Structure formats: C-alpha cells, structure tokens
Chain A
Amino acid sequence: MHPALQAIQTIVIGVGGCIGYFYFSNLLLDKVLFPARGPQAGRNISRANMIRPWLFLLPAMIALGLYLAYPVFATFKLSLFDKSGETFVGFGNYAQMMTEAKFWESMRSNALWLLFVPAASTAFGLLAAQLTDRIWWGNIAKSLIFMPMAISFVGASVIWKLIYDVRPEGAEQIGILNALYLALGGDAPQQWLTMPFWNNFFLMAVLIWIQTGFAMVILSAALRGVPEDTIEAAILDGANPFQIFFKIKVPQIMGTIVVVWTTITIVVLKVFDIVRAMTNGQWGTQVLANYMYDKLFTSLDWGVGSASAMVIMLLVTPILVWNVYNARKEMR
C-alpha cells in the first residue's frame, strides 16, 4: 500500500477509533452496566461517575506507560546485560564506559554545553525582550528572532555550516566567518569545526541561535507582567534605565528566568542532531546523546548504549524532581 494511503487510513482509523472508544465505552457504562433508572438509579449514577474518569484516561495512560515509563525500567535492565542483552553483567557496562576516553570527552562537552548554552540563550533572550518591548517595530523584530525555532536542528546545521565554510588560503572565502576573519586582519583561513576545544563553541552557537527566540518570547511576557507602580516608584527615586532593568525588573521575573533556564537545560542534555550533522562527534565534540546513538546503532552494543542513556536520565532527574515538586505545590 502506498504510504500516503496508509497515512490517511491511519488518521481515519486512529481518530475514528478514539471517538468510537470514548463514545461506546460511555454508552456501555451509562446504559448497560450502571443504568440511571430502576430502583438503584442513584447508586448507579455515582458508580458510573467513579469509573468514568478512568475511561477518559485509559488510552493516554496506556500510551504514556508503554512509551515513556516502561522504557526507563527496560533501559535500566538492558544496561545491566551484555552487548546482545543475554548475559547479566551487573554494572560491568558502566565500568567499561568509565574507561572509555570518548565517554569522558562526551561528559566534558556536555558540561560545556550545560554551562554556556542556557546562560547565553537566556541572556540574549532577555536582551532581545527588553529591546523589542520598547520600539514600534518590536513585533516584527520578535518574530524574526523567534523564527529559528521553526527550523530543524539539521536545517540549522546546514545554515551554520555555510557560515563556517573554509576555502584554501588565497581562494575567495565563501563562509562569512572566514571572510570576516581575513578582512579583520587574520592571517589564514581557519578550520573552525576542527579547532580543538573551541569547535564546541561553534556548535553551541547553533543551539543558542535557535533557543534565544524561545527565551525571548517567555521573558518578554514576564517583563510585561512587572507591575507598573514598582517601575514608576523607581523613576521617581531617580533610578536610571539600567538600574530599573537590573534592580527592579530582573529580580521580579527571576522565577521565569529559572523556568527558561531549566527548559533549555533539558534541550541541551538531549542535544543530538546538531553534533551528528556538523562533526559527528569528531575532533573532540562528542556529546552523550550521539555517543549513545553510536553505541546502540553503530557498535550495536546495547549494554553500554543503554548505560549511557541512563546517564542522560540521571542528569535529567534533578530537573524532573524539581518540576514535579513545583507542580504539586501549585495543585494545593
């Protein structure tokens, strides 16, 4: 069957199936199992209402359980077995991983990414929000800075690879970074993506470019929510615009800044496409997610691959706990 037909069929079956399930399961509950008539009508209604939430939740719970909750445990189990998943090796995979230079390289790059990407994106986002909130063409500016959010990581990698492009010395440079570097007095064109240590930063630039728009949109909304009277009071007290920004506005939106920071942190921990597309982890740019992919699908080593996936999970866990804690606080 042609995939497009298969897609249409899936939409019809999927959507029809959902509607059918919800409609008929409710019908069954109300008309057959606990009909709201006869001598026990009252008891039946309350019983039906006890069961109904679970009818509504069932498909979602099955999908979430199977596709997100179960894999956490299954991956942990796989990480305790050997390459092919047959022999139990305890924490042998973790021990082996610790001896690999590539793993430590990934940890180092991930640490760099964690340190710089959320900070830079949030800072640029804050700057963009503050600048665009005050000008008449602010909305156009916002939507242009926000635009990279719609571009895939791979597409963005192509875009930035053109910027980092390098031609032999003497030839006309077509990458703007090298053209600028030479125009500003650089001696020879640079291989930006193979430059040890610094190439990590050239990869990070791509993610910062994408995430700044996200930070800007959210921080701009928060800035607009800062009460006018606090700012007016500061003006009356003679504060200059910089003092107003850093001492009045920023402290009041600290909560939002933390949310933006943690959201970008999660994206950074899972970064894969950019590294895969631009360097494939060569020249000291390996990151955990790409290390894991190589282990799983190139070396076909499910044990170590799963172990490195667990490391990513472990790094995400503090944020997970923090989010759940906050959500529970709000529910009360």
Chain B
Amino acid sequence: MDNIAGSKPALTWAVHISAVLLVALWVFPTLGLLVSSFRTSDQIASSGWWRALSTQESQMPAIRLSGTETQKDGVFVIEGNLFEGSSATVARWGINSRDPEAYAAGETGALQSGEALTVTETGSYTLSSTQSMADLRMPRVFVTASQPPQFTLQNYDTVLFKPAVGQSVGKAFLNTLTVSIPATIIPILIAAFAAYALAWMEFPGRALLVAAVVGLLVVPLQLALIPLLQFHNAIGIGKGYYGVWLAHTGFGLPLAIYLLRNYMAGLPRDIIENAKVDGATDFQIFTRIILPLSFPALASFAIFQFLWTWNDLLVAMVFLGTTQDEMVLTGTLLNLMGSRGGDWEILSASAFISIAVPLVVFFAMQKYLVRGLLAGSVK
C-alpha cells in the first residue's frame, strides 16, 4: 500500500501532517496536566501551562519586607532582596495594591509614613528613613517581574507526604493497590477452568452456557449494586475489601471466560488428543498443557482487569464505602475536584499519581492489551 502514497509526495506529506496533528491533539491534554503538576500554584494561576518554558512576566503576590535596621550617616536603612535566592527580573513595582505598577525598576517611591523605598531590577531593595523603623509595621511591595522557567517537585511532596485534612493521596494509593491486586488474580483461575470446560469438554448445554456468558458480558453492573449490598450484609461481610474483591471477581468473570475460551478453542486439537491417547486426565491436560500455552490470553485479561479495577470508581464507592480511610484514588480525586477545584497544583499532582501506575502497565504490556482487545471483539 506504500506505493500508493509514495507515488504522490503531496499526499504523503498530507498523511504525515494529519497524523502529527491527530497525535498532538491526543497527547496535549495529558501533557498539560503533567506540566502543571511540576509548577508552583502561582505559576499555574498566572500563566497557561503551554508557556511554562518561556520567561514569564507576571504580577507576583505581595511581598512583605523584612530585615534588620542599620544606621548610616544618621539615616536608618533596611536592605535585602525580594526574591531571596530565586532569580527574577523586576519590571514594575508599587506599594499600593490599587496601583501595583506605579514605579519602574530602579526608581524610588515614597511611603505614606515618610520612608523612601528603592527597588532595583534584581529585586534588591533599600528602605530608608530619618527615624527608626523598629516599631513600624513593614510595608508590602507589589512586583511585576519576569521569571525564568521553573519546575518543582513540591506538589508531589505536598500531596504524598504532607496532606492537608481530607486528602490523603498516599493512603488512597495503598487502598487502590489493595483493591486491585486480589481482584485481578482471583478471577483468573476460576475463569481458566471454566473456559477449558467450555472449549474442550463435551457435555450437554455447552452452547447455551457460552451464549449466557456472551449475554452477561454486557449486563450493566449498575443493576447489581443494591442486591449485592443486601447480599453482603446478609452473609456478614458488609462493606469492605471482601465485598469489593468479590464484586470485581464477579463482574470480571464474563470477559475472562470469553477471552480465555476463545483463545483455548484455537489451540491445536492434536496436542490435546495426543495427550488423551497417552492417558492424561483432563486435569493434567489443563494444568500441564493448556494453562502454559494460554499465557498470552491470561496476560491480556490480567491487564484488562488490573486497569479496570485500578480505574474503577463506582464499585469502590458502593462496596468499600466513602469515608476518608476507605477511599481509593479515583474517589479521592473526585473529592478533591469538589473541595479543591481551583487548586490545580494539588489536583494535577494527585491525578498524575493516580494515572502513573496504569500508564506504566499500559506501555510495558501494550502488546498483550492489543492482543486481548482483538480477541475480545473481532471475530
């Protein structure tokens, strides 16, 4: 097919450019959040993330002067730097919040109480007065400055190790892990045995059962919420991890059986018949031959189930509960969107922590994921 496009350079270019545009459109949203998670809240609030790499001129939050007073030639002087370590270039500055750009860098302004203030381009300031300023409340300075690009790990540190009340992302991370690992492993074995029976054993009603599994594939789990809560209460496990694990196992089984059955049914008949002739039992055939050969399908399902349980919100909300300690990452994120909706530094770092694990799994195991998708839907 290459020769079709290759014969027309213009078309080849059109294809490349459209592909670049499409990819950019799909990557941009995630990139925006990733970049934002490495910026300080001031940076996020004052400029779009797409300008994170350029030098930015912005009005900084008011800075209150501080420093010790020295006396020179009968004049009391306080000196210091507004930025203390970080580099920025002052463009305009002011003393009054109503006129924050009153003076240019290097100019001297007069305060209401009589002191004189000079701010230079580098941010160093000199406050001088004829009287002692020891008892004076230090003035605030408003600065419009251009800052070089700056990135920080502060947000991740805050979110993971110094959470404010009601936003323990670290705890939620552990909860999510606790939910998803057993919920991924347990259905696999149950499904594998059932899939083998449906693929290679002869018994009446087999076709009917396969059809039932296909039907259950699309039953919305919304229907299961209240009846299963009642059931869990009746058998005494109530809300908690056991309930979530059982629910995820039940909801994941149809896909597991369907994927594994399709894969196993495609294995060569000779191997299985030869083993039977040699006197192997079904149990031996299953554990020694089918299970190792089905590894790709098992891996596919494991990835699906892991992504699904990690990313799930509804099942965790209903079966695990919604108090602080029981929250999974998606639930915590949902709460943060409600309570800290404007604090993008918290939100973006939390969101990235929650999507980091699935992304790693995705890029590492993409081959199996694609294979599973193809086996699951294309016939």
Residues of A within 8 A of B (CB): 3-4, 6-7, 10-11, 14-15, 18-19, 22-23, 26, 30, 49-50, 52-54, 56-57, 59-61, 63-64, 66-72, 74-75, 78, 124, 127-128, 131-135, 137-138, 141, 143-155, 157-163, 165, 172-176, 179, 209, 212-214, 217-218, 221-222, 231, 235, 241, 244, 256, 259-260, 263, 266, 269-270, 272-273, 276-277, 289, 292-293, 296-297, 302, 305-306, 309-310, 312-313, 316, 319-320, 323-324, 326-328, 330-331
Contact = CB atoms under 8 A, between A and B. Distances in A.
A81 to B, nearest CB: 11
A64 B330 contact: no
B181 to A, nearest CB: 6
Given A52-B197, A218-B377, A276-B313, 4 more contacts: A63-B249, A150-B355, A172-B48, A272-B313
B210 A327 contact: yes
Contact of A10 (B28, B209, B245): B245
Contact of B253 (A4, A60, A127, A155): A60
Contacts of A174: 44-45, 47-49, 344
Contacts of A331: 207, 210-211
Contacts of A124: 22
B49 A157 contact: no
Contacts of B213: 64
Contacts of B358: 150-152
A323 B219 CA distance: 12
Contacts of B354: 152, 154-155
B23 interface: yes
Interface string B213-246: 1111111111111111011000000000110011
B366 A56 contact: no
B15 A134 contact: yes
B318 interface: yes
B351 to A, nearest CB: 4
Contacts, number: 337
B253 A63 contact: yes
B193 A22 contact: yes
Interface in B83-120: none
Contact of A158 (B26, B347, B359): B347
A71 B344 contact: no
B191 interface: yes
Interface stretch (B1-9, B138-146, B152-160): B1-9
B216 A69 contact: yes
Nearest to A269: B220
Interface string B309-335: 011111000100000000001100110
Given A53-B197, A144-B23, A217-B374, A312 B223 contact: yes
A154 B313 contact: yes
Contact of A266 (B193, B218, B310, B334): B218
B214 A148 contact: no
Contacts of B207: 328, 331
Interface stretch (B29-37, B61-69, B267-275, B292-300): B29-37
B311 A152 contact: yes
Interface residues of B, number: 118
A206 to B, nearest CB: 9
B283 A22 contact: yes
A320 B241 contact: no
A199 to B, nearest CB: 16
B150 to A, nearest CB: 16
B194 interface: yes
B5 to A, nearest CB: 5
Contact of B378 (A18, A49, A218): A218
A143 B182 contact: no
26 contacts: A3-B178, A3-B241, A4-B178, A10-B245, A22-B283, A49-B282, A64-B216, A68-B254, A70-B227, A150-B362, A154-B311, A159-B29, A160-B29, A163-B29, A165-B344, A174-B45, A176-B50, A218-B378, A235-B4, A259-B377, A259-B378, A273-B330, A277-B334, A297-B318, A309-B220, A324-B214
A10 B231 CA distance: 20
B355 A155 contact: yes
A5 B358 CA distance: 23
Contact of B223 (A19, A72, A141): A72
B247 interface: yes
Interface in B9-48: 11, 15-16, 18-19, 22-23, 26-30, 32-33, 36, 44-48
B75 interface: no
B280 interface: no
B226 A78 contact: yes
Given A146-B366, A235-B4, A26 B281 contact: yes
For the complex of A and B, 7 pairs with smallest distance between CB atoms: A67-B250, A152-B311, A74-B227, A150-B362, A60-B194, A56-B197, A71-B224
Given A3-B174, A277-B334, A152 B310 contact: yes
A328 to B, nearest CB: 5
A222 B366 contact: no
A135 B19 contact: yes
Given A162-B33, A270-B220, A323-B214, A7 B48 contact: no
Output the residue of A146, A209, A326 with the most chain B CB within 10 A: A146
Nearest to A206: B29
A42 to B, nearest CB: 15
Given A68-B216, A158-B33, A134 B282 contact: no
A60 B16 contact: no
